[in-house]
Amino acid sequence: MGDGKVAEATILLDAVTKRFGDYVAVEQADFAIARGEFFSMLGPSGCGKTTTLRMIAGFETPTSGRILLEGRDVSDTPPYKRDVNTVFQNYALFPHMSIFDNVAFGLRTAKVPADQVRTRVMDMLDVVRLPDMADRRPNQLSGGQQQRIALARALVNHPAALLLDEPLGALDLKLRQVMQLELKRIQRDVGITFIFVTHDQEEALTMSDRIAVMTQGRVDQIGTPTEIYHTPATPFVAGFIGTANLLPVTVVSQTGDDVTVETRLGGQCTVSSAGTTYAPGSEVTLMVRPERLVPAGAPLHGTGSGASIRAIVTSMVFQGPVVRCQVRTEAGADLVAHLGPEDDPGSFPVGSEMEMTWSHDGAYLVPEPIAADEAGVTSMEDDQTAA
């Protein structure tokens, strides 16, 4: 990592590894977070995202590697000497103090004069839109209000970075969506670096400037939401972010930007290489998002002709804006397509055979192989509305 990058990064993780006994919680985390960035760490539980956050906050010490905060090595600095603040998953508001005292806690610890404390706390309560709650106790507030107070309590200190550990996890869906926008607004207003830990990919996509997708202690990919969604680096990322239909394929040939691959059933199609060079014969994964998968003959979502695949309709579920159509290929892989009203879902009764197709740029090659039994639709949270 170049020195220039170090200088402009608020936080830099340099080959950070954390072990608990034999268990490797975080392995070789190596990335920088830029000033003012809304950075998310996304992954399933146990992927190491919270441990990484706790190392940045100072509650855990890296087993090896360095953490730099504003260019200074803070690997062994205790939390109370680090210029970062955390919004905890359970908010961790002090139950014996008023809201005002909670928010003022950090300022008073830093021995800020009382009149300034008052102004800054009240200003911050305005920012989180709870100016009238100063005299209440935390247990008199709703979950969403406590969430805002936790945010205010951290932000009022103007930290170099704000760490948020699944802060919206305890809120119901409606409130969560409101708070997502609210968080984004506040982050824009205060201009502080946010490091946001979540297992909710939609949340990450909605708010983040960049996302680090983690699994089993490793960072699989770091990128903007668009990059991560459209050009996932690994089958895991492809599956974890949104819904993906994944098929194991073998590279046949590459001509410029066009890569010809062959499916297990022998069918061939051409996919964009997205700048990667593939050796013929290498095993890779073909990804088609459900919204790009359409019945043959229907207008393609995208440009250029892709390929088609024959399948039996196994279910057809109306979900409002789209109809979720699940099919099974001859190879036994389950695929999901999101059909719009123009696709006339009524004409495909369950059990009928249909041909699914996608455009040339509707498919993407993930440069890693996938096992045959993992083929098909990946996403466990296929129906986001249910989550």
- Closest among 94, 65, 69 to 81, alpha carbons compared: 69
Residue 203 has a CB neighbour count (10 Å cut-off) of 22
Q: Which is nearer to other proteins, 27 or 166 (CB)?
A: 166
Asked if 295 and 346 touch (Cβ cutoff 8 Å), the reply is no
Asked if 29 and 52 touch (Cβ cutoff 8 Å), the reply is yes
Instruction: Tell me which residues touch other proteins (CB under 8 A).
Output: 57-59, 78-81, 84-86, 88, 90, 92-96, 105-106, 109-110, 153-154, 157
Beta sheet of 294-295, edge-to-edge order: 294-295, 353-359, 305-318, 323-329, 334-339
Q: Which is nearer to other proteins, 4 or 95 (CB)?
A: 95
Rounded CA-CA distance 32/9 in Å is 6
What is the nearest approach in angstroms of other proteins to the Cβ of residue 108?
Answer: 9
Q: Which is nearer to other proteins, 139 or 385 (CB)?
A: 139
Q: Which is nearer to other proteins, 170 or 252 (CB)?
A: 170
Residue 99: CB partners within 8 Å, gap ≥ 6?
A: 125, 130, 133, 134, 135, 136, 137, 138, 141, 149
What is the nearest approach in angstroms of other proteins to the Cβ of residue 18?
Answer: 17
What's 17's DSSP letter? Answer: E
What is the nearest approach in angstroms of other proteins to the Cβ of residue 156?
Answer: 9
What is the nearest approach in angstroms of other proteins to the Cβ of residue 128?
Answer: 16
The CA angle 291-184-292, to the nearest 5 degrees, is 5
Residue 118 tokens, joined: 């008052």
Q: Which residues of 89-104 are buried (b: 16+ CB within 10 A; e: fewer)?
A: bebebeeeebbbbbbb
Asked if 353 and 295 touch (Cβ cutoff 8 Å), the reply is no
Q: Which is nearer to other proteins, 102 or 221 (CB)?
A: 102
State the chain's maximal CA–CA distance in angstroms: 75
Q: Which is nearer to other proteins, 111 or 174 (CB)?
A: 111
Q: Which is nearer to other proteins, 148 or 292 (CB)?
A: 148
What is the nearest approach in angstroms of other proteins to the Cβ of residue 190?
Answer: 17
Q: Which is nearer to other proteins, 42 or 155 (CB)?
A: 155
Dump the DSSP string for 272-329.
Answer: E-TT----TT-EEEEEE-GGG-EETTSPPSSSSEEEEEEEEEEEEEE-SSSEEEEEEE
